[in-house]
Amino acid sequence: MTPDFVEERRRALIALILVGAAPTVSTLLSYGVGEGITSQAIFMLTKLWLLCVPIIWFLKVDSGTLSWSKPEQGGYAMSIGLGISMSIVMLLAWLLLGDSIDANLLRDALEPVGLLDPKVYLIATVYWILVNSILEEYVFRWFLVTKSEILVGPGIPAIILSALIFVVHHTVALAIFGFPWWANLISSIALFVGGAVFSWLYVRYRSVWIPYIAHAICDIVVFGIGAIIIF
């Protein structure tokens, strides 16, 4: 290994830690402090961190050039097909296991952030699909996949590492929301598979917009199921 290669991997590891750990830390802190302005401030600061750190790192450390990640290799049909397929699996899983979810525990977890109000829930759903999912593709697929490629190698290793990082904060959030351990385990495995699919789409087509399409389709189903459970 050359000194330059070692240094590049060191920088990639630092980037993975700075960005990859932020959602989990934010989830723990937000629900640890309870409802109120502090929790909201932590949420907003984390989103700002996830938005700014990757682009600053890309421009200042990697000396990269900005782009809109224009899809130039197609992939639309593949993304739509995978998004619909994963959504069907989620629907079937909910139909089979949904009765085991404690709706009251879920409501108790969501009540402090106002998501028991249908209007707030709808606004949150629109935000998550149109804004947060794009941010996650920007962070977990573009930034963390490219850094994983440097750290562990391109292809399957990078896809697996980025998917593992993607699933951690979701697992923590599901535990906070009161999911039983077995439901959390099943959900986490499904999220890992979903994250791996999204990462594969990015690796295959090199545009965040292609995995975003599949991600958005899945989020529509997730929030639809959530609405049925809560309301």
pLDDT of residue 223: 92
- Which residues, 6 or more positions from 78, have their beta carbon under 8 angstroms from its beta carbon? 201, 204, 205, 210
Separation of alpha carbons 91 and 97, rounded Å: 10
Please determine, for residue 26, whether its predicted confidence score (pLDDT) is greater than 90.
no
User: 83: domain range?
Assistant: 75-230
CB burial string 187-224: b at 16+ within 10 A, e below: bbebbbebbbbbbbbbbebbbbbbbbbbbbbbbbbbbe
Separation of alpha carbons 133 and 3, rounded Å: 37
Mean pLDDT, all residues of the chain: 89
Tokens 């189903």 found at: 221
Dihedral, CA atoms, 85, 189, 174, 168, nearest 10 degrees? -120
pLDDT of residue 110: 73
pLDDT of residue 178: 73
CA 228 to each of CA 94, 125, 194: distance values in angstroms, whole numbers, following the listed order: 11, 13, 22
Q: Is 66 part of any domain? A: no
Q: Is 85 part of any domain? A: yes
Global pTM value: 0.89
Q: Is 30 part of any domain? A: no
Q: Is 122 part of any domain? A: yes
Q: Is 4 part of any domain? A: no
What separation, in Å, do the N-terminal and C-terminal C-alpha atoms of the chain show?
57
Q: Which of 52, 4, 54, 16 is nearest to 148 (CA)?
A: 16
Q: In terms of pLDDT, which residue wins out, 177 or 81?
A: 81
Q: Is 163 part of any domain? A: yes
* Structural domains counted in the chain: 1
Q: Is 1 part of any domain? A: no
Q: In terms of pLDDT, which residue wins out, 211 or 115?
A: 211
Q: How confident is the model at residue 39 (pLDDT cuts 50, 70, 90)?
A: confident
Q: Is 2 part of any domain? A: no
